[in-house]
């Protein structure tokens, strides 16, 4: 692959190999430290894993009811890793880890394909690798990893086609986008972004329209055909259209739509600001567009200050998370979205004493309040920088609108492709709802779009030393947190599943009598028609004579304890096996 042919951005092929080997080496060493081995599910991947297991042993693709995703691409990839030695969640985790590394490499090559500086390519890849959410889901069989890897390479080939008009690159990009769309529907953003960008650059001629329409038509056609097959063959998951239904409900209520959009935009800005802060610090120091006397810079700086002010005010108005209210005085701190990033580290923490009666009531102590104050402050700074940098791209966008056609240079139209794809990706999420892991996939596209529309210095040395030090320290801190917290997440799950295994095999307890947490009860007793009982955990609990938890639950007695070592912060913790007390004991 020709990484760079532009003389302003050409780097030796040896340097590319050195960059990728260095990043891959650090990544692999960190994974060995975390130790992802363990035949147990994590988060939602019990449902995806069951689909793989069914395909392997019955040769029938039948997705589980607990999914709203097409998933067929993920299942095919996971099956390849299970074929040599049979089904296991360890094999599925290896399939994700391999894709995760490909996603990091894809982010590097994507930025290089944009003819952007080497430091930005390395920084984007390393920032993605250090991202705590990306790192955590890489050690699961969640769909996000497959999606990120395939979309990174699809975007790379779409960019090549935009620049060179290559039909071959267009076909490869469309094929990869179709694979990504059959993993998660939101991947349709890339072919749509390509089509719009192509029309902006080449106009509405019939020959141009055919090339613009082909990628989204192929991807939408593949998705529609797949959904029709699921429906007509009785394979459609029970929750397949639940997110679409939620989106339509929001659109029919103007008040709900306004509240949803304002809150979701603000929370997304905080998360993106935090995750991209190292890169934003370096980009913001670019001499070419951030000179002190530059009028746009002054306006951007004013916008950043206004964003920070609005952010502080908005945080005071958000409802405090239960975690904060339980452990210390009510406050409004990160994390503000659910699923992976929790106040205790990496989650979700899916045991009975964390979800009492269906409400989140965490039992593990959170990290220090001072930590989350600092994180929230960095999120606000990052959100302000992100908004300011986006403001600086507005003159370029206006110029593109005024001078459509042949006067548009490659770098500008590629920036449009990135920005349009990101906007299409976020549109349904901002209108309805999302969880934190949905905010990671578009980060390389945002970086690429901003870089193309701004224009950056090739040399890394233009940046002031404090900026470089701050960016490096932030990436290092994120990486340490990601490795340590993911190790903790795997450690307590390893203890939990050892407890459950011994309870069933040694004590001969039926799975129907156990509340083993979300993944356990989903794996053994998922039922789309389950009738929720407010006295039990919401996850398909039939009987709860036995419970696995982090701490004591009223009405239960601890009969076994399984200790594990926690890294962040360093301490010994335990997972307990509880048994319901008899009437006389109570």
Q: What is the pLDDT of residue 423?
A: 95
Statement: the pTM of the whole predicted model exceeds 0.75: yes
304-to-52, 136, 275, 284, 469 alpha-carbon distances in Å? 47, 31, 17, 12, 22
Q: What are the helix and strand counts (H, E) for the chain?
A: 19, 8
Q: What is the pLDDT of residue 293?
A: 47
Do 351 and 517 form a contact (C-beta atoms < 8 A)? yes
* Distant-in-sequence, close-in-space partners of 281: CB < 8 Å, separation ≥ 6: 385, 467, 470, 471, 474
The residue ranges of the chain whose pLDDT is under 70 are 1-11, 286-331, 356-362, 401-409, 457-465, 583-586
| Cα separation, 106 vs 172, whole angstroms | 15
Q: What is the pLDDT of residue 455?
A: 75
Q: What is the pLDDT of residue 263?
A: 86
* Distant-in-sequence, close-in-space partners of 353: CB < 8 Å, separation ≥ 6: 361, 363, 549, 550, 551, 553
- Would you kindly state where each structural domain of the chain is located, as residue ranges? 487-580
Neighbours of 83 (CB within 10 A): 10
Take residue 15 and report the two structure tokens written for it. 């340097």
Take residue 49 and report the two structure tokens written for it. 């894993």
What pLDDT digit, counting tens, does each position of 330-361 carry?
457 888 888 899 989 998 999 988 876 545 55
Q: What is the pLDDT of residue 403?
A: 62
Q: What is the pLDDT of residue 325?
A: 35
| Cα separation, 554 vs 286, whole angstroms | 59
Q: What is the pLDDT of residue 130?
A: 96
């Amino acid at each position: 692959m020709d990484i760079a042919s532009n003389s302003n951005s050409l780097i030796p092929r040896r340097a590319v190999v050195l960059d990728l080997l260095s990043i891959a080496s650090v990544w692999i060493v960190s994974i060995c430290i975390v130790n992802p081995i363990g035949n147990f599910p994590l988060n939602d991947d019990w449902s995806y894993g069951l689909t793989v297991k069914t395909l392997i042993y019955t040769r029938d693709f039948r997705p589980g009811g607990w999914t709203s995703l097409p998933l067929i691409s993920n299942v095919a990839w996971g099956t390849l890793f299970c074929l040599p030695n049979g089904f296991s969640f360890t094999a599925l985790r290896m399939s994700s880890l391999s894709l995760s590394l490909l996603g990091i490499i894809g982010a590097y090559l994507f930025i290089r394909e944009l003819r952007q500086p080497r430091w930005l390519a390395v920084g984007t890849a390393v920032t993605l690798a250090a991202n705590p959410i990306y790192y955590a889901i890489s050690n699961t069989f969640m769909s996000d990893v497959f999606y990120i890897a395939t979309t990174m390479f699809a975007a790379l080939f779409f960019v090549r086609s935009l620049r060179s008009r290559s039909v071959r690159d267009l076909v490869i990009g469309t094929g990869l986008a179709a694979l990504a769309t059959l993993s998660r529907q939101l991947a349709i953003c890339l072919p749509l972004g390509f089509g719009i960008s192509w029309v902006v650059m080449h106009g509405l001629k019939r020959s141009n329209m055919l090339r613009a329409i082909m990628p989204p038509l192929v991807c939408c056609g593949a998705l529609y055909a797949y959904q029709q097959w699921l429906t007509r063959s009785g394979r459609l998951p029970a929750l397949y259209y639940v997110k679409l239904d939620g989106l339509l409900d929001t659109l029919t209520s103007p008040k709900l739509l306004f509240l949803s959009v304002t809150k979701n935009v603000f929370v997304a800005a905080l998360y993106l600001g935090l995750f991209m802060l190292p890169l934003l610090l370096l980009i913001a120091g670019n001499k070419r567009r951030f000179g002190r006397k530059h009028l746009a810079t002054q306006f951007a700086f004013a916008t950043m200050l206004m964003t920070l002010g609005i952010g502080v005010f908005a945080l005071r108005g958000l409802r405090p998370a239960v975690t904060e209210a339980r452990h210390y005085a009510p406050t409004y701190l990160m994390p503000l979205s659910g699923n992976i990033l929790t106040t205790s580290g990496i989650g979700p923490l899916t045991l009975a004493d964390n979800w009492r009666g269906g409400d989140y009531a965490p039992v593990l102590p959170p990290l220090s309040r001072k930590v989350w104050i600092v994180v929230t402050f960095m999120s606000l700074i990052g959100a302000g920088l992100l908004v300011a940098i986006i403001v600086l791209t507005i003159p370029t966008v206006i110029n593109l609108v005024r001078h459509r056609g042949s006067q548009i240079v490659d770098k500008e139209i590629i920036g449009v492709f990135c920005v349009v794809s990101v906007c299409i990706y976020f549109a349904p999420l901002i209108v309805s709802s999302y969880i934190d892991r949905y905010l990671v996939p578009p980060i390389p596209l945002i970086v690429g779009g901003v870089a193309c529309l701004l224009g950056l210095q090739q040399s890394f040395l233009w940046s002031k030393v404090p900026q470089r030090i701050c960016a490096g320290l932030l990436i290092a801190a994120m990486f340490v947190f990601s490795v340590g917290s993911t190790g903790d997440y795997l450690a307590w799950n390893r203890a939990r599943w050892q407890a459950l295994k011994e309870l069933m095999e040694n004590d001969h307890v039926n799975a129907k009598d156990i509340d083993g947490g979300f993944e356990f009860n989903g794996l053994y007793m998922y039922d789309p028609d389950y009738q929720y009982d407010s006295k039990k955990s919401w996850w398909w609990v039939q009987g709860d004579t036995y419970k696995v938890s982090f701490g004591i639950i009223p009405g239960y007695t601890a009969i076994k304890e399984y200790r594990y070592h926690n890294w962040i912060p360093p301490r010994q913790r335990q997972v307990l096996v509880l048994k319901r007390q008899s009437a006389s004991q109570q």
